[in-house]
Chains A and B, each alone.
Chain A
Amino acid sequence: MTDIDQFRTETRAWLEANCPPEMREPMRSDKDTVWGGRDQSAMTPAQKQWMDAMGAKGWTVPDWPKEYGGGGLSPAETKALREEMAAIRARNPLSSFGISMLGPALLKYGTEEQKKEHLPKIARGEIRWCQGYSEPNAGSDLASLATSAEDMGDHFLVNGQKVWTSYADQADWIFCLVRTDKTNKHNGISFVLFDMATPGVSTKPILLISGYSPFCETFFDNVKVPKGNLVGTLNKGWDVAKYLLGHEREMISNMGLGGGGKNPLIDGAIATVGLDHDGRLADPLLRAKIAEFEVRSKAFAAQSERFIDELKAGRAHPAQPSMMKYYGTELNKSRYELVMATGGSDALEWESERSDGGHSARSWLRTKANSIEGGTSEVQLNIIAKRILELPGA
């Protein structure tokens, strides 16, 4: 038996013993996502047990070094773990901007002290992070941001406003882009971390068309941020931000993946439309659309696997996350158009218990932001054109 086979066998047994049955059920709504954080009162016992068990092994971040709370696994072991989790349909134990975005950036740019302080808490789901990037006049053109951080000797004094801060009202800490030099657009930005409980920080939810408020406006009024919370070099936060955006795009692109196993779209379509005497969906055009979606979706699953394998081997083009983000989010939007088409009038219910509080419709509406947030599809296409295809600048 090879080492990896043995690892797989042991992992299978451990998952079998430690993954609660409730955590092997498909997620039904956003409420089932585990974000961790200081306030864990909303978590079910199974969610907490699963997050704690995986966090203790470092398997919420299997490929991070052990000294920072990770699992210290090799790429092959990480892949085996992922496959074994998929085999029992284990849910993700912890979804976190700390894991998918800040962590990789801290591993690359953080001081030893910052890594030791923040990474283990991210791995165990103790601190929930949010991202302070976009501003009212700096969305896709992020480098135009104006939130200022004035050097006060031992600390920065931060003033300004962020927008589209996902879950800012529920986050414990923020990683934030601030302007430390007004004379230089790109090279005047710094990357700082601070506690959302710091005096002067306030948030206000933004109600969306889905009726949810995952996003907030976030205001900073004379917020004192210790100098030690600067990540990377002063005025060079853009480098950290770009590196982190690559990881954000990678995370968002996963939306195109859907779950493993049979596509619930198909059961939904059969239930509403029915099958004809040949066993085919009775709406041939809907059937054709689902079938083509299935082809693209399965092909994209292969591309995601390839992308991750290439990323781990250091072979991926640095701009490849833009392609993944573009394709994954467009695919996810088409998935939810089909969710609505297959659901028919049932999918239109907004508040009923039967519809789980309008889960289909709200999710469908939510996906319309996929191609806007994290850099619009158009911005991703610009990046692919210029950095991968090396087309000339305008």
Chain B
Amino acid sequence: MPLYLNEDQTMLRDSARDFIADTAPVSHMRKLRDDKDSTGFSRDLWKQFAEMGFTGILIDEAQGGLGLGHVEAGVVLEEIGRNLSPSPFLQTAVAAVEALKGTPHADRWFPGIIAGETVAALAIDEGAKFRASVAMKAERSGNGFKLTGTKQFVHHGHVADMLIVAARTSGSADDQDGVTLFAVPKDAAGMIATAERLTDASLAARITFEGVEVDADAVIGEVDAGRNPLDRLLRAGRAGAAAEMLGVGSGAMDMTVSYLKERKQFGSLIGSFQALQHRAGHLYSEMEVARAAVLKAQQLLDAGDERADAAVSVAKAMTGLATMLSVQEGIQMHGGIGMTDEYDIGFYMKRQRVLAELFGDANYHADRLAQAAGY
């Protein structure tokens, strides 16, 4: 399989590019922010995503989806990133779908996701930096479980229809085994979500579970073996976050390069200054390398290749490095106007920072690769 988009993928990219630029450009996000919208995204837009088929992109055709892969999901995510469109797409249609795939929960939740009615949230982080450890407790209670603990950085957690929650059914926080994944409906008693607005204007919840009772059939996969669906969720989420970040970095770079071609200083277009040309050339190179890393990870994921996990970490780390450069250079080359709220480039910097932290930052993934290589 060549490492570029095939004809079908290119067509999907073109339609996603047009659709998202039309319906959810940066001004869409700006308006939600200015209105202090309490949902954080547009439910109407989520419906339109469904009409485009995007919400079922990773769901099998037999279950009503498009039966496509991570390359295609990434194509949509890149356009979401380029337009800074607030959307539950990454958490719901990519990460949650991958976790629920092949379990009885698919029948329950996929129809709503495909229809653009259901939003899923991921309650997997317990600290300010992503770690693989899970301390939150799930104790057996009656014929089900009782969840006690707190989670944070749960995007859309305050409005989600269901939450995927990682909790510990045995062992201690850093153990591999003993983790169980649960699908918890939003109306479960004892679950208190407090939404906080983040730097990029998105909303993420801190959630307290005060002895939340769930049935045994809330378990995703098997008790004590929740790392399997959690790993699927994380692989998909990381590849997806890398793709979205690639869109953020590319969008910032495009804005910056355009600006270099129109802004005059000292009587010349600033893009003619070699100092800035070299910085732009370097930025372009970093972004190209990141793009390749993302596509490689997506293709390996779609092929079910055993090297996919490492490739996903490379992609998440490399996009973290490259897009951070892109947004930083974006501000610098825009000069003073880049620091104003009125101009969009600053939004790219804020969104990049959020995506960089999501599912582990560049350091986390570089460390993960190092550990796997035995050093």
Asked if A pairs with B, the answer is yes
Q: List 17 A-B contacts (CB under 8 A).
A: A292-B362, A294-B366, A295-B318, A302-B311, A303-B292, A306-B3, A306-B4, A326-B282, A327-B286, A327-B289, A380-B281, A384-B280, A385-B277, A385-B280, A389-B284, A391-B257, A392-B261
C-beta contact mask, B301-324 vs A, less than 8 Å → 1, else 0? 000000000110011011001000
Query: Is the C-beta of B142 less than 8 angstroms from some C-beta in chain A?
Result: no
| Interface mask (A268-311 → B, CB under 8 Å = 1, otherwise 0) | 01100001000111000001101110111011101101110110
> A-facing mask of B260-280, CB < 8 A → 1, else 0?
110000000101111011101
Tell me which of B272, B281, B282, B366 contacts A295 (CB under 8 A): B366
A294 to B282, CA, bound (A): 19
Task: Tell which of B4, B314, B317, B362 touches A313, judged by Cβ atoms closer than 8 Å.
Answer: B4
- On chain B, the number of residues with a Cβ less than 8 Å from chain A's Cβ atoms is 46
Q: Are A389 and B288 in contact (CB under 8 A)?
A: no
User: A323 near B: Cβ within 8 Å?
Assistant: yes
Q: How close is A220's CB to chain B, nearest CB, in angstroms?
A: 35
- Residues from chain B with a CB closer than 8 A to the CB of A262 are 373
**A386 an interface residue at 8 Å Cβ cutoff?**
yes
Contact across chains for A384 and B285 when beta carbons are under 8 A apart = yes
Contact of B369 among A294, A305, A390 (CB under 8 A): A294
Known: A280-B375, A384-B285, A391-B271. A305 touches B293 (CB 8 A): no
- Within the complex, what minimum Cβ distance (angstroms) separates B273 from chain A? 7
Residue-by-residue, is B343-375 near A (CB-CB < 8 Å gives 1, otherwise 0)?
000000000000000000011011101110111
Contact of B272 among A292, A323, A326, A392 (CB under 8 A): A392
The reply on B296 being an interface residue by CB < 8 A is yes
**B295 adjacent to chain A (CB < 8 Å):** yes
Given contacts A294-B370, A295-B314, contact A302 B296 (CB under 8 A): yes
Tell me what chain B mostly uses at the interface: helix, strand, loop, or mixed: helix
Contacts of B292 in A (CB 8 A): 299-300, 302-303, 305-307
- How many residue pairs bridge A and B at CB < 8 Å? 150
Choice from A300, A309, A310, A381 contacting B281 with Cβ under 8 Å: A381
Binding site for A on B (CB under 8 A): 2-4, 257, 260-261, 269, 271-274, 276-278, 280-282, 284-286, 288-293, 295-296, 310-311, 314-315, 317-318, 321, 362-363, 365-367, 369-371, 373-375
How many residues of A are in contact with the other chain, CB < 8 A? 49
Q: Is residue A378 within 8 Å, beta carbon to beta carbon, of the partner chain?
A: yes
B274 near A323 with CB under 8 A, answer: no
In the bound assembly, the distance between CA atoms of A382 and B281 in angstroms comes to 7
The answer to whether the Cβ of A394 comes within 8 Å of any Cβ in the partner chain is yes
A298 touches B314 (CB 8 A): yes
In the complex, the answer to whether A295 meets B362 with C-beta atoms within 8 Å is yes
Contact A381 B278 (CB under 8 A): yes
Which of B280, B363, B366 interacts with A391 by CB under 8 Å? B280
On whether the beta carbons of B2 and A381 are closer than 8 Å, the reply is: no
Question: Is A315 an interface position by the 8 A CB rule?
Answer: yes
